[in-house]
Structure 1
Amino acid sequence: MSVITCLKWVPKGYARSEPLLEEVTMNDIEDIKAAEGEDLNMDTYDQEEAIPVFSNVEYEPQLENIEDEEEEDNKINPDDAIIITGNQKGDFSEVHVFIYVENSGALYVHHDFFLTAYPLALEWLPYNPQTPNEAGNCLAVGSFMPEIELWNLDIIDVLEPIGRLGGVKREKVSEGSSKKRKRTKTYTKGSHHDAVMALDIHPTRKNILASGSADCKVKVWDIIEHECKITLSHHEGKVQSIEWNPTEEKILVSGGLDGSAFVVGVDSPDSSKQIRVPSEIEAVTWNPFNPLEFSLSTEDGFLYTYDARNLGKPLYEVKAHNSQCTIAYSPGVPNLIGTASVDKTVKIWHGEGLRGIAERDMKVDSLFCLEFYKDSPFTLATGGTGGVLAIWDTEENQNVCNSFSRAK
């Protein structure tokens, strides 16, 4: 069974037009094995014998251009849209980098790479933490592991992340050691102690990343320094969703499986405000055009919108789906909200009053994740069980066109 567990759009202009190919050496493989606690004795590996012999194979002249053709296939055009998905296929955890050609509707996997654990959250990073003074194209990944992996999306056939935030300390096995030692789990300083379920990059300070975890903690990280700067412990249940306020740089909203959502200033966590709803919270998100409001979706299919200044009762409330759903605002169309549900449908709502506008069966089984595309704000991507990524240009729907206008 294949599942898309999470996804993220990449804004145009950040991906390299010609991604790099990872050059893997035997030393790289030895380091990876050692980091995983395996002793790879290179003395027993005969590199001469490992090289196959093709002396009796007739050479095909047409193969001369195969490398050039591969390089051409790897190119990314300026108008290509890029979508990143976290995939679980049986025992294999992967990230797929999709190219979506808007004019033709073509959608295909450009490249992919393996993860160490089941992916739960993705967050795109606009620079490479290894070269923070330059623009980049990287990805933070949260998974069942108590760490955040940082990957360079501009490298094909990559084997290892460029960095990790938190996690269990990795110890190399001493050379020549054949005994299995009992290992105790030792966490790095500031690490989460359970799965990382939610990630969000700061809207203006791009080196700051917030994370939510099954250990009921919210953490704020400095990606460049690879350090946890703040730990918040106000949740009593697993933290499922988190998002920075788009204009108030120290304010976060977070939602948990205990049905609680918190609005908190990271510099004054004791002054946090709390609401509680009757079901598990699946997603929380700020209104990008009215940052005093945030909305949330729940495991029993409800949508709520609150005024952050007065959490006594919701501004709006609606039964959106019959079961679990997630929610996303369009970043470029005021009041355009989308929801995706395990009932296999995507619905469009107007933010004022949470009025239903349109609905579509995406024909790709239960849906777990949803996001609008910043560079084409009527377009959304969704995915779930079945492992199929689906795109909907909602502007094709007449009701949507009549109900919304683009932000000026």
Structure 2
Amino acid sequence: MNRIRELAGAEFEDADAELKSLIMASQTEGDDLDDGSEWEDTSSDPDESNSGDMEVDGAVQKGSTDSQKDPNDISEYQLDTYDDEEGGVASGPFSNMKWLLSHDGDDPYVTLKEDEAQEREEAEIYPTDNLIVVAKVEADVAQMEVFVYDESKDNLYAHHDFMLPSFPLCIEWLDYQPNAPSTSKTGNFIAVGTFEPEIEIWSLDTMDAVYPDAVLGKLEKTQQRGPVAAKPNKRKKAGKSNDSFHIDSVLGLSWNKAHRNLLASASADKTVKLWDLSGGSGSSAIRSYNIHQDKVQTVHWCPNESTVLLTGGLDHTLRMFDTRAPTSVVGVKLNEEIEVLRWDPWDPSGFYVALKDGSVRNFDARTLSGKMDSAPRFNIAAHHGSALGLDVNPHLRGCIATGGHDEIVKVWDVKTNATTQELDVSMVASKELGVGKAFSVTWSPDDPLTLAAGGSTGKLQVWDVSTSKDAFRTFKSKLYEAGKEIELRIGKSEVIGVDDDDDDDENDDDADPTSAFGM
């Protein structure tokens, strides 16, 4: 409740101010309130205002003026004999209300049961639906929004949302329930990193949730800071480094799909930490790695070697190490800050790096050494400005998507040259999706040529790349090899978004800015 009170404090203040303004407005229109906070009825005939008489059940009761009457005296309404009517004929002060009806069964005009059934049907998630989780900030209010994408109907809509205590910076989906054995039933959970040092884990299967299922790295009372201010730059300064929990913002998260109870986190406190989710709320980190000299921006588990972590920091270095032997660290020194790292699920030793200068590079992990001087297998200038989003297609080998500061989302084809055995990269499709600076791009887990993108405008868009003739022609052979039999979707909507109910706000110079931080 304290958490909700802090989050909704500003809304309560606005509601109170609005209520006071409405009361003042009603008073200026002549609707005055007396000292007893009761409305004074002046609509009666002035000739009868001082009579002191009241008609009750057709009889005129002689009485004193209002000032002499006992306000607690209700005998004139004859409530003691209200149920003593003969022949079922109603009497009393409400006897003239013949329009009042009663029903022995269900009222045919009451449709609450039908409405409830319709709401349940709308809230149901079908096996053909995809869930897209978006971290969003709007008018200094941080929240998570869960969208449903129905590909068969080209329908994308917001399903439910919940509020966050601070600005979100990264999210990671997992199916492991916190504080449960590793063999427990799976579910839908989302881990959230914010400007706060704690990591929150929310259940996506619970609508209208008000508190996370678990909070990792919760600070002791003597070390806790106050609630995060509305603006990130007003946060209190981080404390002394600690191996049990983060002391600064959480910038990156990665869930281990092989060891489902393990979650890795990267932080602005220059550390990478390992968490055991079976401990539940308040758990301390089971490992802490100090391998960077600056903020650690991103972290990713290797899909083929389940104990190997890849990390990238603002110190221009990427590091790779086995969590069981953290002293044997290898990596490479780059000339720019690292934005995103992604292992290639099709290549046991390959991974991609997106940098602040807009370039995207591919490395072979086998060439990394302690000298930090490994050369990339390819280096492409993908975007003007930072390359902010990067994802590798889980269905098609050599298909990647990138998003950048230039507000463009691009799809690339990476293949091995038969003659030189080097990697050749070509851009297959590019599109400005209207999401602003493309912070995040993610391939669909079901459809091989559908991706979602979110950015600085706060909008979510789904792009069906198969509607592009060039893209379909390029990936046709790879689709056949992967057993993904799809056709060129001519006439299908190329980009699917959510209808904006506040279209007028787009031209409003005073409208609050909106930012999406991840998906």
Give the TM-score, by structure 1 length.
0.80
Deviation for aligned residue 1:374: 1.6
Deviation for aligned residue 1:131: 4.1
Distance 1:278 1:292 in 2: 22
Distance 2:365 2:186 in 1: 34
What is the correspondence of 1:8-407 to structure 2 with a 5 Å cutoff? 29=1, 61-132=110-181, 133-170=184-221, 190-225=244-279, 226-311=283-368, 312-325=374-387, 326-352=389-415, 353-404=424-475, 405-406=478-479, 407=482
Structure number having the greater strand percentage: 1
Amino acid at match of 2:337: E
Distance 1:389 1:31 in 2: 28
- 1:167–1:188: 8 Å Cα contact kept in structure 2? no
Amino acid at match of 1:357: V
- 1:169–1:187: 8 Å Cα contact kept in structure 2? no
Distance 2:163 2:3 in 1: 17
Indicate how the Cα distance of structure 1 residues 130 and 232 shifts in structure 2: closer, same or farther if over 3 A, else same.
closer
Deviation for aligned residue 1:64: 4.7
**Paired positions, count:** 347
- 1:167–1:187: 8 Å Cα contact kept in structure 2? no
RMSD: 2.4
Amino acid at match of 1:142: G
Indicate how the Cα distance of structure 1 residues 76 and 188 shifts in structure 2: closer, same or farther if over 3 A, else same.
farther
Distance 2:221 2:212 in 1: 14
Indicate how the Cα distance of structure 1 residues 273 and 256 shifts in structure 2: closer, same or farther if over 3 A, else same.
same
Indicate how the Cα distance of structure 1 residues 170 and 375 shifts in structure 2: closer, same or farther if over 3 A, else same.
farther
Distance 1:341 1:363 in 2: 12
State the SS of the aligned residue for 2:292. coil
Amino acid at match of 1:371: T
Amino acid at match of 2:343: W
State the SS of the aligned residue for 1:351. strand
Deviation for aligned residue 1:68: 2.3
Distance 1:153 1:203 in 2: 18
Distance 1:368 1:308 in 2: 26
How big is each residue's C-alpha offset from its partner over 1:173-222, in whole Å with a ceiling of 9 and x where there is no partner? xxxxxxxxxxx979997111110010111121111111101111111111
How big is each residue's C-alpha offset from its partner over 1:307-340, in whole Å with a ceiling of 9 and x where there is no partner? 1011320000011111111211011110000001
Deviation for aligned residue 1:61: 2.3
Distance 1:135 1:371 in 2: 22
Amino acid at match of 1:265: D
- 1:169–1:186: 8 Å Cα contact kept in structure 2? no
Higher relative contact order (CA 8 A, sep 6+): 1
Give the TM-score, by structure 2 length.
0.63
Amino acid at match of 2:406: D
Amino acid at match of 1:396: T
Distance 1:98 1:328 in 2: 20
Deviation for aligned residue 1:62: 3.7
How big is each residue's C-alpha offset from its partner over 1:102-139, in whole Å with a ceiling of 9 and x where there is no partner? 11211111000001111111111113224441111111
* Structure 1: gaps (5+ residues): 1-28, 37-57, 172-183
Distance 2:138 2:3 in 1: 26
Distance 1:131 1:252 in 2: 24
- 1:324–1:342: 8 Å Cα contact kept in structure 2? yes
Distance 1:189 1:273 in 2: 22
Name the stretch that deviates more: 70-79 or 144-153: 70-79
- 2:132–2:146: 8 Å Cα contact kept in structure 1? yes
Distance 1:379 1:31 in 2: 38
Deviation for aligned residue 1:160: 0.3
Distance 1:30 1:254 in 2: 36
- 1:82–1:100: 8 Å Cα contact kept in structure 2? yes
State the SS of the aligned residue for 1:212. strand
- 2:243–2:288: 8 Å Cα contact kept in structure 1? no
Amino acid at match of 1:162: D
State the SS of the aligned residue for 1:127. coil
How big is each residue's C-alpha offset from its partner over 1:208-248, in whole Å with a ceiling of 9 and x where there is no partner? 11110111111111111234121111111211111111111
Deviation for aligned residue 1:291: 2.0
Deviation for aligned residue 1:65: 2.8
Indicate how the Cα distance of structure 1 residues 267 and 71 shifts in structure 2: closer, same or farther if over 3 A, else same.
same
Distance 1:390 1:31 in 2: 32
Deviation for aligned residue 1:63: 4.2
State the SS of the aligned residue for 1:228. coil
